[in-house]
A = this chain, B = another copy of it.
Amino acid sequence: MVKRGTPPDTIERFEPKVRQGLIVVITGHGKGKTTSALGMALRACGHGMRVCIIQFMKGDLYAGEWDSIKRMNCAIELHATGKGFCGILGNPYPWDEHRANAQDAIDLVQEKISSHNYDLMILDEINNAIKLKLVDLEQVLEILRIKPPMMHLILTGRDAHPQVIELADTVSEIQEIKHAYRKRIEPQPGIDY
């Protein structure tokens, strides 16, 4: 019968014959890209893995993950490098400033990768950043090339570039079937931020 209460005491553990670091791309226009990456960070944390999250286009508005990561007894780092969504209605910063931020974030990624201190790295909204020319495709391809073989790398954001998809092991495209904002429901804490 149902095991009520968290979680079973004795449980089988799967272990792959070969461990390897995967390149995962989460793209598409539907809701769930960043949250899916955050869920993988949560999983990784349970395995004792060290996680680095670099958010390319966020940083102007509070998001719940910032506080929850502080509350976790886990090796998770989060860097919110952006000034919000470039080009989105109401964002006051010029493209140059978004580009300068994104370029500095690329330096940060290279520094973090070179340290070999992480088992999972998340580059949140980097697909968007390529599309908006805040970072160059070649810079991202270089990151994919220098990635340590055992480190997982997750790239999120709309409109993933075909060459990034080509190099990835797992690619999911999230399509919007419905979204609350179309009913004029404002973003809700816990769900949207």
Which residue numbers of A lie inside 8 Å of B, CB to CB? Answer: 1-8, 11-22, 24-28, 30-32, 34-47, 49, 59-74, 77-81, 100-101, 104-105, 108, 119-120, 152, 165, 168-180, 183, 185-191, 193
Contact A3 B81 (CB under 8 A): yes
> Which residues of the other chain, B, contact A67 by a CB distance below 8 angstroms?
45-47
Contact B34 A39 (CB under 8 A): yes
> Which residues of the other chain, B, contact A176 by a CB distance below 8 angstroms?
171-172
Contact A38 B32 (CB under 8 A): no
Assembly CA distance A6 to B74 (angstroms): 14
Assembly CA distance A119 to B188 (angstroms): 12
Contact A30 B172 (CB under 8 A): yes
Number of copies: 2
Contact B43 A2 (CB under 8 A): no
Contact A171 B177 (CB under 8 A): yes
**Chain B, residue nearest A84 (CB):** B12
Closest Cβ of chain B to A55, distance in Å, is: 9
**Chain B, residue nearest A15 (CB):** B189
Assembly CA distance A119 to B35 (angstroms): 17
Assembly CA distance A188 to B22 (angstroms): 8
Assembly CA distance A77 to B18 (angstroms): 32
Contact A69 B6 (CB under 8 A): yes
Pick from B27, B61, B119, B170: contact of A12, CB under 8 Å: B61
- A11-B61, A35-B43 known; A74+B77 contact, CB < 8 A: no
Q: List 17 A-B contacts (CB under 8 A).
A: A2-B101, A5-B79, A7-B78, A8-B80, A11-B62, A19-B188, A27-B177, A31-B170, A39-B41, A41-B42, A44-B191, A46-B63, A46-B67, A71-B72, A71-B74, A169-B178, A170-B179
